């Protein structure tokens, strides 16, 4: 059952809340346009498809569409129980998730980290998503053309989360990585956010399995236009031994679609 604070899209949220700004702007050069938005504090989780440009070159257009849909369906399981808003897709290669007390989250950073952790621990098809987190003031609003307006989110946290996702360390030992500004950590306990896995063993009773995640030391990175920022990385060091990767599976599905006659060359 959907909670009172759960929204499927940013448009759902915008249409159900009082707006910070609701006005029509008539600019003498650009023309007339509506300005409708809500400003609030949020944590942004940016999840990008790893090496999307290379995938696009290696796969056919229909195969990359299959791959993208597999990625989105795979993410759905991690997001089903989270109170967040799926905001938008950038160039068909990334998803931005928004966590906020506006959506019922008591600890937005914790909830964003937990969703990212699930993805890192359930990457059976080796999507190897690029994950970055940042918090701050954002504006959710409508943008578009006279033909169509869509809900989106804007602000420094969106840019910073996307940049963090691209700044993961070049460490081949890491199966997955979550990167965020050092200020986000704010003295959190690693054991609190990444607790050991506990389960009942038939012979040894209650067993505690050490976490597969490790937190790195703070590191200083130069960001274009943002200056020098201290980052933290949390890496998962257990690799999935996949029977088949998402890339190979996309090719298999496309081959099956063609073999069954569902692909028609109409050019």
pLDDT of residue 251: 97
If you average pLDDT over residues 20-37, what whole number do you get?
A: 90
CB-facing half-sphere around the CA of 163: CA atoms within 13 A:
20
pLDDT recorded at residue 2: 43
Domains, the chain: 10-259 (3.30.70.1230)
Whole-structure pTM value: 0.88
3 state SS of 186: coil
Q: How far apart are CA 25 and CA 34, in angstroms?
A: 6
In tens, the pLDDT along 124-162 reads 899 999 999 999 999 999 887 777 778 889 999 999 999
Q: For residue range 176-216, list pLDDT tens digits in order.
A: 999 999 999 877 888 888 887 777 777 777 777 778 899 99
Cα–Cα distance for residue pair 182/155, rounded to 1 Å? 19
Residue-wise pLDDT for 57-100, tens only, equals: 999 999 999 999 999 888 877 777 666 777 666 667 888 999 99
């Amino acid at each position: 059952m959907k909670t009172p604070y759960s929204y499927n899209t940013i448009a759902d949220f915008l249409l159900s809340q009082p707006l910070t700004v609701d006005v029509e702007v008539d600019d003498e050069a650009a023309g007339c346009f509506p300005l409708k938005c809500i400003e609030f504090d949020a944590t942004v989780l940016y999840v990008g498809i790893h090496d999307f440009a290379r995938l696009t070159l290696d796969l056919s257009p229909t195969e990359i569409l299959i791959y993208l849909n597999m990625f989105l369906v795979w993410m759905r399981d991690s997001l089903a129980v989270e109170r967040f808003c799926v905001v938008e897709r950038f160039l068909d290669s990334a998803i931005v998730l928004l966590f906020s007390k506006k959506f019922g989250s008591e600890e937005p950073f914790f909830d964003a980290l937990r969703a990212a952790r699930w993805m890192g621990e359930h990457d059976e098809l080796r999507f190897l998503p690029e994950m970055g987190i940042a918090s701050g003031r954002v504006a959710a609003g409508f943008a578009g053309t006279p033909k169509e307006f869509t809900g989106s989110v804007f602000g420094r946290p969106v840019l910073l989360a996307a940049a963090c996702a691209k700044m993961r360390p070049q460490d081949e030992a890491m199966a997955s990585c979550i990167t965020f500004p050092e200020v986000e950590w704010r003295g959190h306990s690693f054991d609190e956010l990444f607790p050991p896995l506990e389960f009942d063993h038939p012979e040894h009773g209650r067993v505690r399995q050490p976490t597969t995640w490790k937190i790195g030391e703070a590191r200083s990175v130069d960001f274009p236009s943002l200056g020098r920022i201290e980052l933290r990385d949390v890496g998962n060091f257990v690799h999935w031994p996949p029977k088949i990767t998402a890339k190979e599976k996309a090719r298999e599905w496309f081959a099956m679609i063609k073999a069954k006659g569902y692909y028609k060359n109409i050019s």
